[in-house]
Structure 1
């Protein structure tokens, strides 16, 4: 077996891709989704009251209470079968075309996804404004294997790094109305290729991966609005609108990032120290993120129950699939977990890619 461990590592990373089988469509490619919103079914446009606001709706940055700092925030997201695929690949002779072929054939029709993120951020409040500055480091890969007779690995991956800044401002003359703007500048490295077993078993496969990687950089901006009002002193209702990547991000030879427009509504009640939030979102109003126009794939709804101390529980529906999540927050150390189903078919309910998310955060709460 050759000593090119880099080749093995590269394929294991490449083992993170999903363009689906012949009857499948590429999943929606939002630029980033946090663990807390994912547990709530992705319904966060009108909620947006923590560090995730900079990605979902910058108007929510106006809800910052004081000072927030994220020093270490590693986040890992994997598909249900990703570990099995990794182990199977590790057990075969990667130089043997026949063994690689059998491995690919075993996973024909299955979808695998891996994502790693490690953003740093600081946020603070000045008068009616909440400000957040973040350093971005995120990478994902998706894999699908087609054609059981002559298996082909369809690999797509993006690695983004750069910076973001966002400001949310609560208008004093219009009670409950907040507006926000975010600006991001990113560099992207992408792979979007098809590889056969012969390609993967070749001694120079790691060089092929490097040659197929495309680079680019661009900047864009986001706009958001949240309007909130108390009803009978019992429920706080919030309406949210957000435009993400209003200037479509053109990364040159790397994969572009489309514009996205989302709308949402949220309801919040507080009782005996508990806070209950229910939310509903409709994403990609203008049909930019995917070739299909399935309405069900754009629907997101969820709820969150925050306990008086430490714990928060979440659940919801995203694209027709259940989501769940939880947070254990010790102020300077927080653990987030979530699971959700990503639709990789052309309509909701056709083909689920079940994913699991875990994040550890060190710093001060938002």
Structure 2
């Protein structure tokens, strides 16, 4: 009887441990990944739904294309990274390139991860992006948008919680005004997009690092494509020149809303652009969630060469990892204008509970964007800041 009870108890304990190991194999990150990010929006708290007045309207709110009065071609490259990401990689590479045995490498990797417990590292690179917008329509092609997020923590042993997104995107947009709307100006827009995604989500143990010559191999990525659409609207109400609300005329308030990824069909089909071999183990990539963004924009009076606006958005409503701390975005943008070929912007904001700041400087067709923002990489109940610094180099025609 005792032996039978001991066997049952051992079986239950083994099943419990195996369950924990299986759960640990998947990333525990609750970070909300945005398929597209622009430095201008990020600098003002990533609140851009009711602004959407440049080429990035294709992805932030296609209704903004209805209000364009001229064309714009933007060619850019960008990089965003957390401080210390390169130093961590250099430490990893030093161990990987050493002549240590597999056992000694495993020990070295454990020590490396333990030295960085609680640290978060990330990098996002878009080596080429092309966008062409005209009044009412636009097209965008992003061959590669690759982001890597790593968090050092203890699961069953020293481990790195890792997520990788590698997206290629083709988008077509159209927007127009609706004259039947009597109170002010009402615009709507649609962005149809094709996205091919490579994806990796796993907690990497030190033993995995010791037995592989790369942190993440291309063969480890799951892959799939999807066709989806975003639908956006903008409303600028007509403010009476007299009466209770006449003081709002100077602010010219505009309100916006976007439904993103309306179909939400997931990446269930593959073109095998990343992995040529048949995929039999890797699950489908993380889908593009159907979410709702709402926002408002308020202009403030121009003075000398300066002008600007204040913005307030609530983003990612409906996302499984949404909370109000992550969802509320607010910011201020200050424009300065010397000549048509020499102008720029300063920005500050609040995103996911953390400060943001950015600037843009335009000199002829050359445009430089600099921004600092933060992602919340913690759990649902414990926010953790991951500070990011980013730059984008543009040719703007």
| Range class of TM-score, shorter chain | 0.7 to 0.9
RMSD of aligned alpha carbons: 2.4
1:299 paired with 2:328, answer yes
Q: Find the partner of 2:264 among 227, 248, 253.
A: 248
Question: Cα distance 1:222–1:343, how it changes in 2: closer, same or farther (>3 A)?
Answer: same
Map of 1:283 onto structure 2: 315
1:80 paired with 2:60, answer no
Deviation at 1:208, TM superposition (A): 7.2
Deviation at 1:44, TM superposition (A): 0.6
Q: Find the partner of 2:173 among 141, 152, 166.
A: 166
Deviation at 1:270, TM superposition (A): 4.1
Map of 1:190 onto structure 2: 199
Query: What does 1:11-160 correspond to in 2, within 5 Å?
Result: 25-71=29-75, 73-94=76-97, 96-117=105-126, 118-125=128-135, 130-136=136-142, 137-147=144-154, 150-160=157-167
Deviation at 1:78, TM superposition (A): 0.7
Contact preservation (8 Å) 2:52, 2:61: yes
Point out the structure with max Rg over C-alpha.
2
Contact preservation (8 Å) 2:185, 2:238: no
Deviation at 1:189, TM superposition (A): 0.8
Deviation at 1:148, TM superposition (A): 8.2
Question: Cα distance 1:111–1:257, how it changes in 2: closer, same or farther (>3 A)?
Answer: same
TM-score (norm 1): 0.85
Q: Find the partner of 1:239 among 252, 255, 270.
A: 255
Deviation at 1:60, TM superposition (A): 1.1
- Listed one character per residue, the Cα deviations across residues 67-115 of structure 1 (whole Å, up to 9, x for unaligned) are 11123x1111111321321232233344522222221221221111111
Map of 1:226 onto structure 2: 234
Question: Cα distance 1:349–1:325, how it changes in 2: closer, same or farther (>3 A)?
Answer: farther
Deviation at 1:248, TM superposition (A): 1.1
Long gaps (5+) in structure 1: 1-19
Secondary structure, in 3 states, of the residue corresponding to 1:41? coil
Deviation at 1:170, TM superposition (A): 2.0
Moved more, 260-269 or 59-68: 59-68
Secondary structure, in 3 states, of the residue corresponding to 1:105? helix
Greater RCO (Cα-Cα under 8 Å, separation 6 or more): 1
Question: Cα distance 1:348–1:59, how it changes in 2: closer, same or farther (>3 A)?
Answer: farther
Long gaps (5+) in structure 2: 1-23, 99-104, 240-245, 269-283
Q: 2:36, 2:49 → 1: CA distance?
A: 13
Question: Cα distance 1:148–1:225, how it changes in 2: closer, same or farther (>3 A)?
Answer: closer
Q: 1:33, 1:349 → 2: CA distance?
A: 25
Q: 1:211, 1:350 → 2: CA distance?
A: 33
Q: 1:195, 1:351 → 2: CA distance?
A: 20
- Listed one character per residue, the Cα deviations across residues 36-55 of structure 1 (whole Å, up to 9, x for unaligned) are 00000011111111111111
Deviation at 1:347, TM superposition (A): 5.2
Contact preservation (8 Å) 1:199, 1:205: no
Q: 2:337, 2:380 → 1: CA distance?
A: 40
1:263 paired with 2:306, answer no
Deviation at 1:200, TM superposition (A): 1.3
Question: Cα distance 1:208–1:25, how it changes in 2: closer, same or farther (>3 A)?
Answer: closer
Map of 2:9 onto structure 1: none
Secondary structure, in 3 states, of the residue corresponding to 1:92? helix
Query: What does 1:306-325 correspond to in 2, within 5 Å?
Result: 306-309=335-338, 310-325=343-358
Q: 2:140, 2:177 → 1: CA distance?
A: 21
Q: 2:146, 2:366 → 1: CA distance?
A: 24
Contact preservation (8 Å) 2:151, 2:162: yes
Deviation at 1:316, TM superposition (A): 0.6
State how many pairs are aligned. Answer: 335
Contact preservation (8 Å) 1:40, 1:303: yes
Deviation at 1:274, TM superposition (A): 2.3
Moved more, 73-82 or 95-104: 95-104
